Amino acid sequence: MIEVVRPGPLATVQDLGRPGLAHLGVPHSGAADERALRLANRLVGNPEDAACVEFTFGGGSMRFHRAAWAAVTGAPLPVCVDGRAQGTNAPFHVRRGGVLELGTPARGLRSYLAVRGGITADRALGSRSTDLLSGLGPAPLSAGVRLPVGASTELGAITVDVAPAPRMHETPILRVLAGPRSDWFTEDAMATLTSAPYQVSPDSNRVGVRLDGPPLTRSRDGELGSEGMVTGSIQVPPSGLPIVFLADHPTTGGYPVVAVLASVSVPDAAQLRPGQHVRFRT
């Protein structure tokens, strides 16, 4: 069992979410940076879909009531166990009673703590993920919450010392594909989206990254009927300022989608922090 000493600005339990229920209005949810969650699990010998703790902007601290192997991936940040520095993207051992402390990431936003055996908080609709849009899954973590950890006896050996760290650029460039409603916009809109830098707005969250920058102009008026939305959809509300949907996005929406992130760029979008600039290219 691990106990939350301090959650930092926001910490939630996440696994690979609730696919297959979108037609019932259930968001996909799950780790915003799925790539980092999978890596964290592999590093400690867990199945890739085991639940981890997703820390937003670091700052968390956890007490281990049982000795365990653990790993931290995603936004790189200082990791200390009982006052001793540990690297990210590498498994490390925490003794019984040991305290893990996370600093603030220099780049990126979300870091993942995997514990060998996986976090075994209660499942809702097949997943342990906290969905901040619908309220499904465990509540965001608060000091004193104890998280159960699963058995590790059946797991494979830990075989990797350190994994290559993903590079997090000062101004990331995300790949986009024309969206299903790109024809609702002027020809300039796609050119604007893929040339001007956009700035990440402070009201971004796990639902979506809101962007400030040149507005995208529609070529037709009228209402689009509500339609299904995928993670990575770049939706454009009447303000013209794009919103990039992340894991907790609503399952349907009525604003046209001008472009969709290539799936390889979705984890990069999940690491954008407020105030940061981002560019898009096709």
Residues 13-32 that bind other proteins (CB under 8 A): 19-26, 28
Q: Chain centroid to CA 52: how far?
A: 11
Integer angstrom CA distances of residue 130 from 29, 85, 98, 274: 7, 29, 26, 21
d(CA 178, CA 51): 33
Cα angle value 250/4/271 (rounded, 5°)? 40
* Per-residue binding letters, 136-175, with other proteins (x by CB under 8 A): x---------------------------------------
Interaction between residue 239 and other proteins (CB under 8 A): no
Contact stretch for other proteins (CB under 8 A) within 50-58, 70-78, 85-93, 248-256? 248-256
Residue 162 half-sphere exposure, CB side, CA atoms within 13 Å?
A: 6
Q: Which of 72, 211, 257, 272 binds other proteins (CB under 8 A)?
A: 257
Q: Which is nearer to other proteins, 4 or 121 (CB)?
A: 121
- Taking the complex as a whole, how short is the minimal distance between the CB of residue 256 and other proteins, in angstroms? 11
Based on the shown chain and the rule CB under 8 A, indicate whether residue 50 belongs to the binding site for other proteins: no
Q: Is 48 in the site for other proteins (CB under 8 A)?
A: no
Both tokens assigned to 219:
């070529």
Q: Which of residues 92-131 bind other proteins (CB under 8 A)?
A: 124-125
Number of C-beta neighbours around residue 25 at 10 A: 10
What does the per-residue mask of binding to other proteins show for 208-227, with x meaning CB under 8 A?
-----------------xxx
Candidates 76-84, 133-141, 162-170, 207-215; binding stretch for other proteins (CB under 8 A): 133-141
- Look up residue 70 and give its two tokens: 């653990």
Q: Which of 60, 208, 253, 256 binds other proteins (CB under 8 A)?
A: 253
Min CB(66)–other proteins separation in Å: 29
For residue 266, the minimal CB distance to other proteins (Å) is: 9
Quote the least distance from Cβ 123 to other proteins, whole Å. 10
Closer to other proteins by Cβ: residue 15 or 94? 15
- Give least dist CB 258 to other proteins, A: 12
User: Minimum distance between the CB of residue 83 and other proteins, rounded to whole angstroms?
Assistant: 41
Q: Whole-number minimum distance, CB 8 to other proteins, in Å? A: 27
**Residue 22 or 145 having the CB closest to other proteins:** 22
The region, left, alpha or beta by phi > 0 then psi within -120 to 50, assigned to residue 216 is beta
> Residue 141 phi/psi, 5° resolution?
-70, 145
Binding residues vs other proteins (CB under 8 A) = 19-26, 28, 124-125, 133-136, 177-180, 225-230, 232-233, 250-253, 257, 260-263
